[in-house]
Amino acid sequence: MITRAVVHGRGGMAAGRPRGARPATLLFVVPVAFLAVFFVWPVVALVHRALTSSDGTGLVALLDRTDAWGLLGFTLAQAAASTVLTLVVAAPLVWLVTVVPRWASTPLMVMVTVPFVLPTVVVGIAFRALLSPGGPLGGLGLDGSVASILAAHAFLNVAVVVRVIGAAWRALDPRAEQAARTLGASGPRAFLTVVAPRLLLPAVSAASLVFLFCATSFGVVVILGGGRLQTLETAVYTQAIGYFDIPAAVALSLLQIVVVVVAVVLTRLLAPPTQAVVGRTRPRVVVTPARRTCAVAAAMWGAVILVGPLLVVAVRSVRPTAGGTWTLEGYRALAVPVNGETPLDTLRSSVVSAAWATVLAVVVGLLAAMALQRSRGPVHAIASGLTLLPLGVSAVTVGFGYLVVLAALPPAVAASPVVVPAVQAVVAAPVVVRIIAPALAAVPDTLRAAAAGLGAGPWRVWRTVDLPAIWRSLGVAVGFAFVIALGEFGATGFVARPGTTTLPVLIGSALNRPGAEYLATAMAASMLLILTTAVVVVLMESIRGVEGSEF
């Protein structure tokens, strides 16, 4: 989401900051307060619970008892393997986005983006249907294997690689490559010696983000691992909800937090933020027969790996079991009440909750991006790292922290409908920051200074200079925030109550019930989420345009 992609942008105004601009510290007040209440508080409560409440067993003994070191090894190994596979799978599509004409850009980016913003529980369903006996690839024997998890992670995170590296490639000045070709270098040699070195930094940035997402993956591992394959993320949930072993769950959560903090620090060190590129558009690519053939092959590759699993879900929604009868019972069940609420009612509640979460995430993210754009030096570096932290910390860990906090609050607060949107906004806000910050950094400071010099106050400078320049990125941020909130599953599963249940949580519950009718309902509900997500992404890509926000 990111949760599940994310583009690193660096703010920082030049020495000629517009006269009368608000200090960055004032803009940080709302984001810091939001982060403190809805992120830091639950995490600190979790740490406090670990230190004050246990069964008499020390932390190291708890980690040994839960095989934490084995879980850590598998978590890191599968994340690394998933990252490598994602880079390989995405490579043809990265090239494709740099050569397609304008009319093909929107459908291509929709195809790439929809998997990334789908709920992970839906992705798990898609790959289980694809690889299970009787499925299109059931004969490979990969159902419930590590390979199925790696494939699902690659499916989810192709968008991160395509958007980050593709945007950097489109922004490169092509004259150096053209000079190499003029001097006799072949196409591959010109790429390897001129283009590839300049794409190394974006590639490292994309890989580090994919690794972070895969290390904290929950829904995919829960569904495809079948309880046999577990990461730190799923083990926290199992210990807390399955066994109600709170000390063990807290110990695993602390280890998860340490891993994520180290990963975020390494991400910042290995992939320092890059300056936004302004006013540079890659020239029109000359279409040769060979290039056209390669483009068609790359497009077919993308359709197979990104659309194929979704088509399997569509088929299973009307034919739940392989070789079974065709039926619309799953879709009819969407209007049948379950505990007084139909899945369609749940979808409406999910949309309302996601809308409120979007408002929260965009307000917080916009203020944070503006503050980052005005800050410099150590303050900028620290603040930028903090905005990335909620994106990397396990959603299950955050949800578990909420469970600890809400247990100590009055029941009316714990059951408040505000809780779910707040949790979803915590997950979505970092993505908003990473989309808007590069756009703000791309606005020339001379324009702000000129407006201020003509007597415009800070608000008018922002309204007349910054807002017109970033409105596309702002629209993309709204779309991303909405679909991420709509599909959030890990943390929401801890805090959802009757009346605030979201559709991903409902799908997860249906999958845990035996019977083809529940499977049909889960598949039909998954199709609702897929279609809703696709519509939002189409609107988002239409706003973005070909040269809009990179992510």
CATH number where 298 lies: 1.10.3720.10
Cα three-residue angle 514-518-524, rounded to 5 degrees? 150
Closest CA to 124 of 147, 152, 145, 150: 152
Place of tokens 């239409």: 542
Closest CA to 248 of 55, 394, 40, 492: 55
Q: What is the pTM of this model?
A: 0.79
Distance of CA 45 to the CA centre of its chain: 25
Rounded to whole angstroms, the Cα distance separating 533 from 251 reads 36
Per-residue pLDDT of the chain (551 residues; tens, 9 = 90+): 344 444 333 333 333 444 434 455 677 788 888 888 888 888 888 777 766 665 556 677 778 888 889 999 999 999 999 999 999 999 999 988 888 776 777 788 888 888 888 878 888 888 988 888 878 888 888 888 899 999 999 999 999 899 888 877 877 777 777 777 777 766 677 777 777 788 888 888 888 889 988 888 888 898 888 778 899 888 888 887 777 777 787 788 788 878 777 777 776 666 545 444 444 445 555 556 777 788 889 989 999 999 989 998 888 888 887 777 888 888 888 888 766 678 888 888 888 889 999 999 999 989 888 888 777 777 766 777 677 777 666 677 788 788 888 888 887 777 778 888 888 898 888 888 888 888 888 788 888 888 888 887 778 888 888 888 888 888 888 988 998 888 887 777 777 776 677 888 888 777 777 777 778 888 888 888 888 888 888 888 777 654 444 44
Place of tokens 């605030």: 500
Rounded to whole angstroms, the Cα distance separating 372 from 10 reads 8
Q: Is residue 14 part of a domain?
A: no
SS3 9: strand
Residue count of the chain: 551
Contact criterion met (CB below 8 Å) for 449 and 381: no
Closest CA to 435 of 463, 390, 474: 474
Query: Number of structural domains, the chain?
Result: 1
Q: Is residue 5 part of a domain?
A: no
Q: Which domain range does residue 228 map to?
A: 24-51+61-276+286-544
Distance of CA 387 to the CA centre of its chain: 14
Contact criterion met (CB below 8 Å) for 539 and 476: no
The DSSP letter of residue 286 is P
Q: Is residue 12 part of a domain?
A: no
Rounded to whole angstroms, the Cα distance separating 466 from 25 reads 19
Place of tokens 């994309």: 206
Q: Is residue 444 part of a domain?
A: yes
The DSSP letter of residue 193 is I
Torsions phi, psi of 384, nearest 5? -65, -40
Amino acid, res. 32: V
Q: Is residue 32 part of a domain?
A: yes
For residue 369 the two structure tokens come to 């991006």
Q: Is residue 365 part of a domain?
A: yes
271, β-bridge pairs: none
